[in-house]
Amino acid sequence: MISLASTFYLTTAIDYVNARPHLGHAYEKVLTDAIARYHILLGEDVALITGADENSLKNVHAAEAKGITPAQLCKENAAIFRQLADKIGLSYTSFIRSSIKEEHWVGPQKLWQLCNKNGDIYKKKYQGLYCVGCESFYESEELPNGLCPEHQKKPELIEEENYFFRLSKYQKQLEDLIEKDKLKIIPETRKNEVLSFIRTGLKDFSISRSVSRAKGWGVPVPEDKSQIMYVWVDALSVYITGIGYGFDEKKFKKYWPGLHVIGKGIIRFHAVYWPAILLSAGLAVPKELLVHGYITVEGQKMSKTLGNVVDPFYLIDTYSVDELRYCLISEISTFEDGDFSERTLIEKNNSELLANIGNLVNRTLVFIKNNFDGKVPNGKSNEKDKGFIENNKKAYEKIAQLLDELKLKDALNEVMLLSKETNRYFQENAPWQLIKTDKARAASVLYTLTNQVKDLAILLWPFLPKTSEEIFKQLNIKPEKWKDLGKQSIKEGHTISEPKVLFRKLELAKKEEKTDITFDSLDIEVGEITSASQHPNAEKLLVEKVKVAGGEIQLVSGIAKFYKPDDIVGKKILVLRNIPSAKLRGVESQGMLLVCESASGDVEIINPDADTGTKITLDGSNIKTHDQKLITADIFFKIKLEVKDHIAYAEGKVLLAGNEKIKTEKIKDGKIT
């Protein structure tokens, strides 16, 4: 294990709060927390900062869509992100909201002034392609098919006068720092990716926005009231204001620099822009960047647009926080993308946590209670016991090395392997037989097992803190530190507490049967008509081929009176997906094309402004992990779907495709059918 300083500082990324948190946010917090808890076990003074990136243009747009102010939106959503941090067990020392002037603004403004003093900020007129989702400008060659590579949306062309940072000045310095691991990027593949980007030639980048375009929302540029700081300059500054920069220099110097745990989608900002700004201001660059991958669902990146967002609150409330943490760390590579499903969570709980850790702890403590009056028996180790203990100490060293290298999945898997070996030790020594023939030897085995359970509790704390704390509670001792591993610190005669089951057998959660039929019953998504023709057997029907998520389907719809086949090819439409396939006059329809019908009988195809595959949601709703069941047409028609003043509603709430309201062009008021 490498020698470590007395302080350790790390951060999560600072989350956008334009929408609710998803499982990807929870995953990053679990990784960061595991690292923090490991360093706490080492006895270090750990500071962990997380928070909310609130001064972005996307937050302004999200607030406008909801008809509230950005301040209201950020206050509401930041509270939800903080709730997630608490529920997932993130051991943070500060939660910083970037829109709160008193706790943040001094830092980024001071940083700006230092960069300006160093001659690295200048003002010029600029035209560029801007993605609001990324809060970033792109060069045209960076946009496959003209779309943002991250959000698959067309950036808008922006022209205005802004301040720029001389990023090009720091190209060689950044390259040297990263090559020599003075700014260490983990894994190596991400390091090479950043170096490749730097070597293509760094261009100066815009670091402000006009007050008018930012709608006055954000941190003001010092001495220029017409400009707001670019959100990434402002948000990245949270990493230093959170530990006192601009407020408490002594605290700042105590902790900075540190480790940033981030997703691969924002690596450029953290590995290039951020260290360059720090260099300009005369500050140390971060020590390390741990860059994790995305969580996918059925092979696809989680996205509200695709409708496969997994709600971490649902998972924690349905199962438990440690069961979720275990699945995330042990199943998903720390450095690459990984797939998640509830079924995997359940299988790993039942076959690994319950069968391995839970079984070992419970049968060890129950055996002591039943055969030694709940007191740890006298332990006189033989050579076999000593060999077992020494092998375990070697495992501790390996686990420490993996944690030092931030290989969290590998480290946790080694802990589980150690638990399996301890179960094997239990089986091979068979204390249930020894108690009848050689009680002294049975006592020695249980003494060794008790202290090994204690060691496992220490090792589990970074990953499964609640489970670890419960094991210590059942052992009736205070939680111990990393230095206590391998010590036979639980002595003869110590009284354990009442043994309890650590894990229960899980089954896939079933949806509660609803007495009321609601919009939640519907699976509606955006489709695109690729071809259309007249129904061969019915003059009022058209047959459409429609591109949807996962492929192409065929629909039959009664719109021939209002549309010619050629008129609708290429149109985006709303498709009800969870209705059984049916043959209409001999032609199969695999869903229902939804239209707006006025009181006078006119019909309009609803043309949503969203990507194919986008799931339709209610404003303010949260998408669950499970799919909707098939419904009948009767159930669909019982749900009130309507258009009022050209806006689509269900159950009195606005219908959204992604973040966009669903609107009609011609029919002002009508029903959706």
Catalytic residues: 22, 25, 131, 134, 148, 151, 301, 304
Report the C-alpha gap between 93 and 341 in whole angstroms: 31
226 backbone dihedrals φ, ψ, rounded to 5°: -85, -5
For residue 71, CA distances in Å to 16, 97, 101, 132, 168 come to 13, 11, 12, 18, 35
> Which of 325, 161, 166, 158 is closest to 227 using CA atoms?
161
Report the C-alpha gap between 290 and 285 in whole angstroms: 14
Please tell me whether residue 156 adopts helix, strand or coil conformation: strand
Asked if residues 511 and 627 have their Cβ atoms less than 8 Å apart, the reply is no
> Which of 146, 396, 130, 110 is closest to 277 using CA atoms?
110
Count of residues in the chain: 673
Contacts of 105 (CB under 8 A, 6+ apart): 219
455: enclosing H helix or E strand: helix 439-460
Q: How is 17-69 classified by DSSP, letter by letter?
A: -SS---HHHHHHHHHHHHHHHHHHHTT-EEEEEEEEE---HHHHHHHHHHTS-
387: enclosing H helix or E strand: helix 383-404
Tokens of 260: 């940033």
Asked if residues 186 and 288 have their Cβ atoms less than 8 Å apart, the reply is yes
| Cα dihedral value 238, 239, 243, 249, nearest 10 | -90
**Pairing outcome for strands 524-534 and 542-548:** antiparallel
> Which of 208, 201, 55 is closest to 124 using CA atoms?
208
Report the C-alpha gap between 293 and 265 in whole angstroms: 8
Sequence-ordered alpha helix ranges (H) in 237-339: 238-241, 249-255, 267-268, 274-280, 312-318, 321-331
Contacts of 469 (CB under 8 A, 6+ apart): 461, 479
Please tell me whether residue 312 adopts helix, strand or coil conformation: helix
